[in-house]
Structure 1
Amino acid sequence: MSGPVASVGDVAHNDTFARRVRLDRLYRNGSGGLLVVPLDHPVSGGPNLHSGRHGSLDRLVGELAGNGADAVVLHKGALRHVQPRWFRDLSLIVHCSAGTGLSDPDDKVLVCGVEEALRLGADAISVHVNAGAATEPRQLADLGAVAAACQDWGVPLLAMVYARGPGITDGRAPRLVAHAATIAAELGADLVKTVLPRAGADLEALMAGCPIPVLAAGGDAADGAATLGHLAEAMRAGAGGIAAGRLVFTNPDPAAVLRRLAALVHDRAPVHSR
Structure 2
Amino acid sequence: MTTHQHFGRAVRLRRLFHHDPQRLMIVPLDHSLSDGPVVPRGSSIDRLAGQLSGAGVDAIVVHKGSVRHIDHSRLASMSLILHLNASTAHAPDPDAKHLVTGVEAALRLGADAVSVHINMGSREEARQLADLGAVADQCDRWNLPLLAMMYPRGPKVTDPADPELVAHAVTLAADLGADLVKAPCLRTRAEMRDLTAACPIPLICAGGPQRDTEDEVLAFAREAVAGGAAGVAMGRNIFQSPDPGAMAARVAGVVHHRPGGTLGHIEEGHGSELRETVLA
Q: Would the TM-score normalized by the shorter structure come out above 0.5?
A: yes
**Alignment partners' CA distance in 2, 1:152 and 1:191:** 17
Report what 1:253 is aligned to. 243
**Alignment partners' CA distance in 2, 1:136 and 1:61:** 32
Shift of 1:265: 1.3
Structure 1 unmatched runs, 5+: 1-11
Contact 1:39/1:73 (8 A) holds in 2? yes
Shift of 1:197: 1.5
Letter in 2 for 1:269: P
**Alignment partners' CA distance in 2, 1:112 and 1:253:** 31
> CA 1:75–1:184 in 2, change beyond 3 Å: closer, same or farther?
same
How do 1:173-252 and structure 2 match up within 5 A? 173-199=162-188, 201-224=190-213, 225-252=215-242
**Alignment root-mean-square deviation, CA:** 1.7
Letter in 2 for 1:85: S
Letter in 2 for 1:86: R
Structure 2 unmatched runs, 5+: 261-280
Q: 1:90 aligns with which of 59, 78, 82?
A: 78
Shift of 1:56: 0.9
**Alignment partners' CA distance in 2, 1:200 and 1:96:** 32
Q: 1:109 aligns with which of 92, 98, 102?
A: 98
Alignment pair present for 1:19 and 2:9:
yes
Q: 1:57 aligns with which of 45, 48, 53?
A: 45
**Alignment partners' CA distance in 2, 1:122 and 1:149:** 14
Runs of 4+ residues over 6 Å off in structure 1 = none
Report what 1:80 is aligned to. 68
Shift of 1:123: 0.3
SS of aligned partner of 2:181: strand
Report what 2:264 is aligned to. none
Shift of 1:164: 0.2
Deviations 1:19-43 (A, max 9, x none): 1110111112234101000000011
Report what 1:4 is aligned to. none
Deviations 1:227-274 (A, max 9, x none): 43232112012111110011100110111211111112111137xxxx
Report what 1:3 is aligned to. none
Contact 2:189/2:227 (8 A) holds in 1? no
Contact 1:174/1:201 (8 A) holds in 2? no
**Alignment partners' CA distance in 2, 1:34 and 1:227:** 16
Contact 1:31/1:267 (8 A) holds in 2? no
**Alignment partners' CA distance in 2, 1:112 and 1:137:** 19
Shift of 1:13: 9.1
Contact 1:219/1:227 (8 A) holds in 2? no
TM-score by length of 1: 0.90
SS of aligned partner of 1:222: coil
Shift of 1:54: 6.8
**Alignment partners' CA distance in 1, 2:154 and 2:131:** 18
How many residues were matched structurally?
257
**Alignment partners' CA distance in 2, 1:13 and 1:187:** 19
